[in-house]
Structure 1
Amino acid sequence: MTNNKSNADLLITTILSGIEEVKGKEITILDLREIENTVCDYFIICEGTSNTQVSAIVNSIQKQVSKSLKDKPWHVEGMDNQEWVLIDYVNVVVHVFQKHIREYYDIESLWGDAKTTEITTSY
C-alpha cells in the first residue's frame, strides 16, 4: 500500500513542477479518496491565461512526467480548443482551464466533499 501512495505523491509532485515551470495559476489539488464512486484519487486543477499558455502547461506536464517517471497519460482531451484540457493519468486527473471556463464549470464546488489543497506560487 505504501508503494501506491508514494507513486501518486511522486506523480503529483511532478505534475505540479510541470505546471509551475510555465507559470500555471490558481493550482488546487482535490483529494477524492474519501468519496465513494470516484473515477480517480486526485484532481489537480489549474489555469492558464490563453490557449497558448494552456497548451504550454499541458506540454510541460507531459514532458516532466515522461522524463521523470517514464509515464504517459492514458488519455488527453480538449487540445482542439485549449479552453479545458483534461490529462488522465488514471489515479490522477489534471484539468487545465482558461479562467472563464473554470469559473463556468466550477468543478471544485461539484466536488465540495473533497479535501482541498491550494498551492501557493511565488510568481
Structure 2
Amino acid sequence: MEEKTLVSMVANAADDKRAEDIVILNMKGISLIADYFVICHGNSEKQVQAIAREIKDQAQEQGIDVKRLEGFDQARWVLVDLGSVIAHVFHKEERSYYNLEKLWGDAPHLQLEELQA
C-alpha cells in the first residue's frame, strides 16, 4: 500500500471514532523512526482505545502488518506502529503534556485533503 494511502487510512480510521485534532506530520528527512506521524486524541480512556483499535483493525483488513501496539491498556498514549506510519493516540490531558507537534515543530503539517488529491 502506498504511504499516502496508508496515512489517509489511519487518519480516516481515527476520524471514524471521533478522534479530535488530527494532525499529520511528514517526518521524511527529519526522523529515522517513520515517514509520517498521525497524532490525535480522545477524551476518555475508552475512546482512546476505540480509536487505536479501529486503526489496528483497518490496517489488518488491508493486509498491513501492525508492528507494535503500545500503551493500549493504560490508554493515555497509545502508539500504533505500522512501519512507515506511526499513529499516536493520546488522552486529551497527555497530548498537551507531551506536545509532539511542538517537539517535531520543523516537520511539515499535511492536511488529509492533500493526501487524497
Could you state the TM-score of these two structures normalised by the residue count of structure 2? Answer: 0.89
Q: What is the CA-CA distance between 1:117 and the residue it aligns to?
A: 2.6
Separation in structure 2 between the aligned mates of residue 14 and residue 76 of structure 1, nearest angstrom: 17
Bigger CA radius of gyration: 1
Partner of 2:11: 16
Matched, 1:96 2:63: no
The answer to whether structure 1 residue 74 and structure 2 residue 67 are counterparts is yes
Extract unaligned runs of 5+ from structure 1: 1-5
Percent sequence identity is: 35
Question: What number of residue pairs does the alignment pair up?
Answer: 113
Q: Which aligned runs of 4 or more in structure 1 are off by greater than 4 angstroms?
A: none
Alignment RMSD (CA, Å): 1.6
Partner of 1:3: none
Cα shift at 1:119: 5.3
| 1:52 aligned residue | 46
Contact 1:62/1:72, CA 8 A, preserved across alignment: no
Q: Is the 8 A contact 2:8 2:112 kept in 1?
A: no
Instruction: Tell me, in whole angstroms, the C-alpha distance in 1 between the residues paired with 2:33 and 2:65.
Output: 18
Residues 68-121 of structure 1: per-residue CA shift (max 9 Å, x gap): x2113101100121010000111111000011100001111110110013559x
Q: Which runs of 5+ in 2 are unaligned?
A: none
